Amino acid sequence: MLNIVYAEKITSKQEHQLTIDVLKETFKEAIVLHSKLLSNHKKIAYFFIDPLLNSFEAANQFYFEIFDCEEIDKLNTYKSGASPIQALSDAKEIIKTGLYDAVFIFGFDPLLTNKKMYGKDEITKAMSIFDTHSIMQCYNQIAHLVCQELGVTKTEFRSYCDELYKNYLKTYQKLSDTIVPFERGRQLEENQADLFMLTDCANPNIDFSGGVIVASEDTTQFLETAKTERIRVSGVKYVSVKGSPEQIDSIVGENKSMFPHLRKAFVEAQSQAAIHVAKEYRNKNLYLEAYTCYPPIPIAFLLATGMIDTIDDLSDFLSRYEITITGGMNFARAPWNNPALNALIDMYQKLRQCDGSYGLVHGNGGIGEIQGIAILEKTKNENS
């Protein structure tokens, strides 16, 4: 059994604010837990979500400087938008086998600071994966193929994009208790993305750091986390396929099986959790955090998970249900590889504060070739 025993984050809209001292203060509870685990000879693995720039040695620097590590036995780094789900899945495996008692999964990406230091061109260059296609072009191709498979016109697809954004906006306004104008931004045809507008793609210019600590049941008891409500990782799975501009057909799949690798990850995570996700969701006992960068992804998520049966159900569904707890990636403000980590942290807090029993977090990596699902569950200590 795997439990989340800690989750925290910090963001800054001003560069050079997330100093070592600030991060140590933010994660002071995690530092205390770290010392307690080490002093009692618990085995710890360290996982790290790489930043966009300067990833070499970033993990070592973070753990040695923030947690004052003297020695690291196991260090894994991850480099995609699905990375936090992959890290959670890997943590579950090594804890299940008894190799480790706890795993620290942290990320630190000073994207705004780096943009100011190195310039926009350097950031754009670092975001490039392929020589022949930009990521945006690839997702635009994916959108066209989704339209083709589902029998959707360009006009209908753009309408769905508007409705998705309205869904995110509604959640964010409720969460922040503010009124935000409905502004979709310019069309991105100049970026060879004729189906997207500015708010359809998300890479917030902020500095971000956050992390979760997961532990075995025995270690959770040792840390006395069971004296309060705790959050269990009841299901987690990621699946990847080949990802390149030439492989987009296999990423998207067909009308009756959109994004089959996403469907596979979902079915396995749902089976592990031993629940019916759609039923729990409609009964308001489960919260969703869909990955919202580029509209084909949340559309594929809703189809692959059975939240909607056909694309014709999308508009009604979006008018009735919220598909994020944060307002999506533009409003939730976590850069590059960290949105799913940000979502896990927010879902952990949501489950501790609200009535629902479950939370589902979706991760998407590369140009959609990596898909991950994590299902969290609120549990009560029987002795509390």
pLDDT, tens only, 64-75: 999 999 999 999
Q: What percent of the chain has pLDDT over 70?
A: 97
CA dist., res. 285 & res. 307, Å (int): 14
**What is the chain's alpha carbon radius of gyration, rounded to the nearest angstrom?**
20
pLDDT tens digit sequence for 150-209: 999 999 999 999 999 999 999 999 999 999 889 999 999 988 999 999 999 987 899 999
Predicted pLDDT at 320: 97
What stretches of the chain show up as alpha helix (H) in DSSP?
20-26, 28-39, 58-66, 83-96, 111-118, 120-127, 135-150, 154-176, 217-222, 248-252, 260-273, 277-282, 296-304, 314-320, 328-332, 339-353
Concatenating the DSSP letter of every residue in 228-269 gives: S-EEEEEEEEEEE---SGGGHHHHHEETTEESHHHHHHHHHH
Q: Which CATH architecture has domain 2-117+206-215?
A: 3-Layer(aba) Sandwich (3.40)
DSSP-based three-state secondary structure for 15 = coil
* Arithmetic mean of pLDDT, 309-338: 96
Task: Give the span between the Cα atoms of 288 and 246, in whole angstroms.
Answer: 31
Output the pTM of the full model: 0.96
Give domain limits for the chain. 2-117+206-215
With H, G, I as helix, E, B as strand and everything else as coil, classify residue 278.
Answer: helix
Q: Which tens digits make up the pLDDT trace of 262-294?
A: 999 999 999 999 999 999 999 999 999 999 999
Helix H or strand E segment including 3: strand 2-12
| β-pairing verdict for 102-110 and 207-216 | antiparallel
Give me 236's structure tokens. 């987690």
**pLDDT-based confidence at 11, cuts 50/70/90?**
very high
Per-residue pLDDT tens for 16-67?
A: 999 999 999 999 999 999 999 999 999 999 999 999 999 999 999 999 999 9
CA nearest neighbour of 72 among 108, 38, 26: 38
CA 290 to chain centroid = 8
Length of the chain measured in residues: 384
Residue 360 has pLDDT above 60, yes or no: yes
Say if residue 149's pLDDT is above 50.
yes
